[in-house]
Structure 1
Amino acid sequence: MSIFKTFIQYYKPYQRLFYCDLFCAFVVSVIDLAFPQLLYFLTHGIFTPTTSGIWHIISWVGIGMLVMYSIRYVCQYYITTWGHIMGARMESDMRQDLFNHYQRLSFSYYDRNNTGEMMSKLVSDLFDISELAHHGPENIFISTVKILGSFLLLLFLNVQMTLILFVITVCMVAFSIHKNRKMKAVFMDNRKKIAGVNSSVQDSLSGIRVVKSFANEELERAKFSGSNLQFLDSKENSYKVMGSFVAGNAFFQGLLYTAILVSGGFFIANGSLQVTDLAVYALYIGIFLNPIDVLINFTEQLQKGYSGFKRFMEVVKTTPEIVDKENAVSLHDVTGHIEYKDVSFHYDENAGILQNVNVLIPAGKTIALVGPSGGGKTTLCSLLPRFYDVSAGAVLIDGKDIRDVTLKSLRDAIGIVQQDVYMFAGNIRDNIAYGKPEATQAEIIAAAKNANIHDFIMSLEDGYESYVGERGTRLSGGQKQRISIARVFLKNPKILILDEATSALDNESERYIQASLERLSKDRTTIVVAHRLSTIRNADEILVMNHKGIQESGSHDSLLARGGLYAKYYKMQFEGLDELKEDS
């Protein structure tokens, strides 16, 4: 019922279209029911040898029917056109709501879920919603009107035959309900299996360069074949269930015709039914069976739409773990004073990544985090913009707990340059402007110059309009990195996080980017995560972290003089492993 109520809510913006659609459906149903009744009236009162002026009557009947079917044409056009448009708009609203909800979900949700499956819920699962939204109420309404109307008129023609018809119809309904339960499970399995196919495709195509570099096309084909065959098996099962469902209902329809033919012959033989009445009765049987046929065919559509909407609801009902407090305030006039106060963090119930960490970063200062992978450096940075929330303790900016301020104002105050730079599909200008969508061309150019990328951009044939390729494949790593730095220049935040921003670059690119980063860091509170220790010599303070927490802190020179972990890492990079072994 919860799913049904939520589905109904999507009709609200289109109530006028919906009610007009039902009205037109009612008109169509009444006209369809009228023809056998008109035939019954004509055969019993007009089509007799003693009737005078029959041609005059027939001409008026013909004109009346022409008007009637012209009205039916208009109504059917409205149902087919605007009914489908209403369904398409509802589908679009649901897709937008789902996408908006994806944007609200926390990083932890994306850690647990596959991109291909999420795309499947966004696209494939909602594909049948449009048809369900349009045909669902319409088919149920038309079928109800036609079944009840024809049933009452059949009772009027012959009660005994209609009761026989009723008993067979009840058996037919019971059979349909039984099969419908099986169909619900198999169509839900269909959705899961096609999500697996989408996931396999997304994963393989996103990593196509890795696939080809390892010559593993055959491996990818085998992996895709597995998920593809699983989906095929699921589809085959669904068609088997559908086959028994449709064939069973067709059998019951045959029973109806058989029962009417046999009982009709019996009643004609004993004189309680006229041959003309049996002909009219047969017409009403067609009208009675047609909506049943429609409902039978609609069952497949209903189950597909229901399973898709149910998976849609599973996402929409997922509560974002990180949201604004009810009384959250905006973060204004940021100076950049940061404090990690007894901070602990764990991703799950296992051992924590961080335990009772205390860090103080004065406004405008640069602090560097070094240490082995898995020591919690990136995690510590991720807590600042609330990509994750602390498990214990607090993170403060300018003395304010970041959980007490709005997410937008918090993240507006923080700029992030990462090692893995993401380029959006489009041109260079749009990718730089992502840091400030309303930026002017002059502001974009100024940001590019500060990031040492303007000259390169101008050397391209299309300049700032140059297409970057999917994920920036037409650009080198250093070029992408400088564009990401230009984004942050344009954003102009007071707090800067540099997460291994130069670790994957060659020496020449690193020199360009290091100059850009130094310019970017000026007068900003900066947290640097670095493996290349040469890039952090000028940091105001260096924190050495490992899985046990912060082990050392101090300036570059003081840490070298101490001869501890930092000195060890420094020797590994600049004096060689062999010499390090000899020292040990």
Structure 2
Amino acid sequence: MSKNKNVTFAWAVKHIIWPRKKTLLVGFVLIIFSRLASLVLPGATKYLVDDVIKNSDLEMLKTLLIVVVIAITIQAITSFLLTRILSVEAQHLISQLRTKVQKKVLSLPISYFDNTKSGELVSRIMTDVEGVRNLVGTGLVQLVGGTITAIISLVLLINISASMTLFVLVPVSIFAFIAMKAFAKIRPIFRTRGQINAEVTGRLTETLNGVRVIKGFNAEEQENTIFEQGVLKLYNNIKSSLTATAFVTSSATFLLGLASVGIMGIGGYYIINGDMTIGDFLAFTLYLGFMIAPIVQMSNIGSQLTEAFAGLDRTEEIMKMDPENLPDKRPIILDSIYGDIEFKDVSFAYEENKDVLHDINFKAPPGSVTALVGSSGSGKSTTASLAATFLTPQSGLITIDGQDLSKVNLESYRKHLGVVLQDDFLFEGTIRENIIFPRPNATEDEIQAAVKGAYVNEFTDRFEDGLETVIGERGVKLSGGQRQRISIARALLANPKVIILDEATSNLDTESEMYIQKSLNMLMKDRTTFVIAHRLSTIRQADQILVIEEGKIVERGTHDELIAKEGRYFELYTYQSRI
């Protein structure tokens, strides 16, 4: 399915409705009983007027009352069961779809997340699937039930008076035509609403996450204006759909009102001439209500189903995207690795024809430390991201133990990978929960070894709750150095063969850096390590230092060799030494 192709009813039947055919069949049976029971009252009214009252037949009155009570009881029971069975199944489907979409989203490449707001993704996972409750819930069944009721009522109406029924069908047909045209226009509006809602949710999420920056720059009013504009855009979209829906409803009121006026005139004329009894007229009027009510209700249900399909359109866009770990494109499974990584003529571009890396060549032997240095934007982080398989080169080859990394199963490689990023992301929860994230089943001894190795205990011992201290969203209650040490403890516990350290000492004060440097030395031991650091003092012991400028390696060697060359590295190092 292409990105712009809408979900069809046939697709919905195959993927959403048919797998739940047994539940829906029960729903259809229940609604048929419910609608048949609802038709008892109009028929009973005819007998009440034409026979019971006219003949003063008390026995028949008792029988009528018993039949009507039974019919009402059946309606009540079937109504309860319909809601209980179908609404629960609908919510079950929504929970399954949310899980499925979230699983799909996490399988997508890093580049997708770089170009999509997290709040927008939250909206797609939580909101877009909501509409399917109308496909599996009472919406679709009511649509079918309403159609059945309308057809049965039509037959009964024709039986009472074919001419009056024919008169009614003219405005009903006009209304049906108007409704079909209106819903065709409403669907794109609902689809756009999903996009707008995702944008507004995305911005709101960013605002709440960046509240310290907003307050720090006194930018509350600016954020309020942006959010207000988004909400206004959403309001205008809703207004458009409400206008279309209101037009359908008002058309129904007008056209069906005209039909009722005509029925009053024709029915009155027939009664006066003796061609129709009062009971027949009352029954016709009530049956007419049972035929028209589902049609009017269908306009509301049609709107709900249109919203459901619009949500499915957006959901299917995500579900049809290729995950980053396609088995046919990445067939190589690594059971274990040595950590021998090599870049061969590697080039990479985030945008077409705008390379940020040009013909990168180097080897990182097992257990070696490769430091990447250079000015901001030179391509250091891109190089590390390629080694981490977060990105895939446009040209050239990256190998792990001689295997083409672009063909290696990502899960089998990443289980040997550890990362400590510049944005030392921590999850809301306790310090312990963040450390054991890569290995939830780690033993207490293993956890304590990681804690001590990263010197996390140096500050947790001062906390009342120790490792059980709740750190707040993104670790907001901790200092930068403390967050960084938890990130390193997490990497230590993972016990990987390949380590990516992206600005791992960027948030540290001098004391913390001293602690971390010791733990990093232990972390890097016997592991292939890539280190990105602005503080060149942290990489003096690296086996090789690659100086990257404008996407090219301009110098390479050990610290002493590069200092002796008095080139770009010498400039960077001596400049920092003076600061």
**Aligned CA distance change for structure 1 residues 465 and 106 (closer, same or farther; 3 Å):** same
Residue in 2 aligned with 1:209? 212
User: Does the aligned pair in 1 maintain the 2:330–2:409 contact within 8 Å?
Assistant: no
Residue in 2 aligned with 1:182? 185
User: Does the aligned pair in 2 maintain the 1:3–1:313 contact within 8 Å?
Assistant: no
**Whole-Å separation in 1 of the counterparts to 2:108 and 2:483:** 27
**3-state SS of the aligned residue for 1:334?**
coil
Residue in 2 aligned with 1:4? 9
Residue in 2 aligned with 1:27? 33
**3-state SS of the aligned residue for 2:347?**
strand
**3-state SS of the aligned residue for 1:346?**
strand
**3-state SS of the aligned residue for 1:125?**
coil
Residue number among 160, 163, 166 corresponding to 2:166 in the alignment = 163
Following superposition, the deviation at residue 370 of structure 1 comes to 0.6
- Read off the aligned partner of 1:18 and give its amino acid letter: L
- Read off the aligned partner of 1:364 and give its amino acid letter: G
Following superposition, the deviation at residue 519 of structure 1 comes to 0.9
- Read off the aligned partner of 1:34 and give its amino acid letter: V
**3-state SS of the aligned residue for 1:268?**
helix
Residue in 2 aligned with 1:261? 264
User: Does the aligned pair in 2 maintain the 1:545–1:551 contact within 8 Å?
Assistant: yes
The answer to whether the aligner puts 1:111 opposite 2:117 as a matched pair is no
**Whole-Å separation in 2 of the counterparts to 1:298 and 1:333:** 56
Query: CA deviation digits over 1:518-551, x for unaligned, max 9?
Result: 1100111111111111011110111111115111
The answer to whether the aligner puts 1:86 opposite 2:86 as a matched pair is no
- Read off the aligned partner of 1:281 and give its amino acid letter: F
Percent sequence identity is 34
**Whole-Å separation in 2 of the counterparts to 1:548 and 1:395:** 16
Following superposition, the deviation at residue 46 of structure 1 comes to 5.4
The answer to whether the aligner puts 1:40 opposite 2:40 as a matched pair is no
TM-score after normalising by structure 1: 0.94
**3-state SS of the aligned residue for 2:137?**
helix
Residue in 2 aligned with 1:582? none
Give unpaired runs (5+ residues) of structure 1. Answer: 577-584
Give runs of ≥4 in structure 1 deviating > 6 Å.
none
Residue number among 296, 301, 306 corresponding to 2:304 in the alignment = 301
The answer to whether the aligner puts 1:476 opposite 2:485 as a matched pair is no
The answer to whether the aligner puts 1:133 opposite 2:136 as a matched pair is yes
The answer to whether the aligner puts 1:531 opposite 2:521 as a matched pair is no
Residue in 2 aligned with 1:99? 102
**Aligned CA distance change for structure 1 residues 58 and 271 (closer, same or farther; 3 Å):** closer
- Read off the aligned partner of 1:37 and give its amino acid letter: G
**Whole-Å separation in 1 of the counterparts to 2:107 and 2:193:** 28
**Whole-Å separation in 2 of the counterparts to 1:310 and 1:472:** 37
**Whole-Å separation in 1 of the counterparts to 2:468 and 2:76:** 51
**Whole-Å separation in 2 of the counterparts to 1:499 and 1:439:** 25
Residue in 2 aligned with 1:194? 197
TM-score after normalising by structure 2: 0.94
**Structure 2 matches for 1:262-411, cutoff 5 A?**
262-325=265-328, 328-411=331-414
**Structure 2 matches for 1:558-569, cutoff 5 A?**
558-569=561-572
Of 340-349 and 265-274, the range deviating more from structure 2: 265-274
Following superposition, the deviation at residue 45 of structure 1 comes to 5.5
- Read off the aligned partner of 2:75 and give its amino acid letter: R
Residue in 2 aligned with 1:580? none
Following superposition, the deviation at residue 44 of structure 1 comes to 5.1
Residue in 1 aligned with 2:3? none
**Whole-Å separation in 2 of the counterparts to 1:396 and 1:500:** 24
What do you get for the CA RMSD once the two structures are aligned? 2.0
**3-state SS of the aligned residue for 1:189?**
helix
Following superposition, the deviation at residue 48 of structure 1 comes to 4.5
Following superposition, the deviation at residue 302 of structure 1 comes to 2.4
- Read off the aligned partner of 1:28 and give its amino acid letter: S
**Whole-Å separation in 2 of the counterparts to 1:384 and 1:375:** 16
**Whole-Å separation in 2 of the counterparts to 1:450 and 1:427:** 19
User: Does the aligned pair in 1 maintain the 2:82–2:138 contact within 8 Å?
Assistant: no
Tell me the number of residue pairs that the alignment of Structure 1 and Structure 2 aligns.
Answer: 573
**Whole-Å separation in 1 of the counterparts to 2:403 and 2:514:** 37
Following superposition, the deviation at residue 16 of structure 1 comes to 3.1
Query: CA deviation digits over 1:364-398, x for unaligned, max 9?
Result: 11111111122211111111232111111221111
**Whole-Å separation in 2 of the counterparts to 1:229 and 1:420:** 34
**Whole-Å separation in 2 of the counterparts to 1:329 and 1:181:** 48
Residue in 1 aligned with 2:80? 77
Following superposition, the deviation at residue 363 of structure 1 comes to 0.8
**Whole-Å separation in 1 of the counterparts to 2:380 and 2:405:** 19
User: Does the aligned pair in 1 maintain the 2:420–2:491 contact within 8 Å?
Assistant: yes
